[in-house]
Structure 1
Amino acid sequence: MPTLIGRLYLLLNLKYRRSRDLINQHLHHMIEQEFQEAPMMRAERKKISLIASLIASLQQDEKLEASKTEEDKKGLSRAEVLDEMLAFLMAGYSTTTAALTWFIHLVSVHPEVQNKIKKELAQYNMQSLSVEQLDSFSYLDCVLREVFRLVPPAFGTLRTLTVDDRLPSTGAELRKGDLVFIAIHNMGRDRRYWSGPVDPDQFYPERFLVEGNDINNNKAASIPFGGSWNS
């Protein structure tokens, strides 16, 4: 009953409907803009653009794909692309807010880290920064990665197995179709992968510097955004 009441409330809420329509209109415009790009350009932008990646997966014949079974379908429909973009928009808003909140808190209680960030930023004297200059902030990058490791925006993520598998550490058998929960928060504090000079429960950005890197650091041990190539 509460779910039904909530849906009716949203359906009758004019302000909500206007906001929803505005967001959908903007997303539709972004999809059409990307769709007009040449396939060659889209292929180059796939790894840095979520929209380009989704459009590259767009179905060529939606009616034909709709008649197939779920396992036989290929690509995404326009409605699915829109849903994916909306999901990323909402998820990106909440996770970015959480990440910035923790960044401000952790830096504020560690003044030595704050001073190092200021020193690194001071070299550009408040001028407009290019992407290349932003990429050169090695210590700031370490701080951000440490924030994501210690307090990831998402506690965990789910994945559905597409093939049978076996866990190497325990020998447990997993079957195709099984839903697996990946505990991102726990992995970021697992002492098997974070055995540096400072306890993994402590905030220590230097663990991501080359010269101070944890001995057993594993790239997959810290996957705050899921670990894909565009995360």
Structure 2
Amino acid sequence: MDIIQIGSFTILLKWFLLGVAILFGLVLIKVLPLHLPNRAQNKAVFDLLINSVFLGFFIWKGSLLLLEPSLVIKTPLSLLYFTGGSSGLVLAIIFSISYFIYRARKLDISMLVTLKCLLLFSFSVLSVYHFLSATFVEDNLIYHVLIGIYSLTNFILILVKRILSSYKSFFSVIVLFSFYKIILSLILINENTIFIFSIEQWFFIGLIIVSLFFWDRKLQ
């Protein structure tokens, strides 16, 4: 497993690449025209996105308390050196998205614009992460390239307004991407499973269920 040594810290290469991808996504959101009513709201969305990322990071680190409590009790400093892994990352993503949507509504930003910002950020992060992984990680080259291309395509289409003109189009993008990622991971990736699927696959199954639940509902 590829690792990077930074002083006394050891970090998995995939987490380092994810961090780089997140920074890239933040820069993109900063410079992209989000078509909000004024600059104040543009700045508010960017600040909120940064807060959501930091919240996700601390939840990811703190999830070790939930996932490996015995390790934290025996070695409290493990919270500094370790994370909750893929399971903790899923928890962090769920809480970060919920926080972002909740706070955006408090700022009177329309739900469709909020969801568009989330997708633009998510697909920019995914495309950069998977292209970096295809370049620097030896395993699963085809998987990373295919996910990277699909994510970049969605990012471009959303940016030029060819998709995501309604809530149904938003949920269509989520459902199609989720199915695509699940199928590719089942075919190309050998992952640890929990009741047939991996934790990541269960996350995307959850996204499909939520999307279908809200498919015909009017969001305010």
Which has the higher Rg, Structure 1 or Structure 2?
1
Instruction: Name whichever structure is richer in helix by fraction.
Output: 2
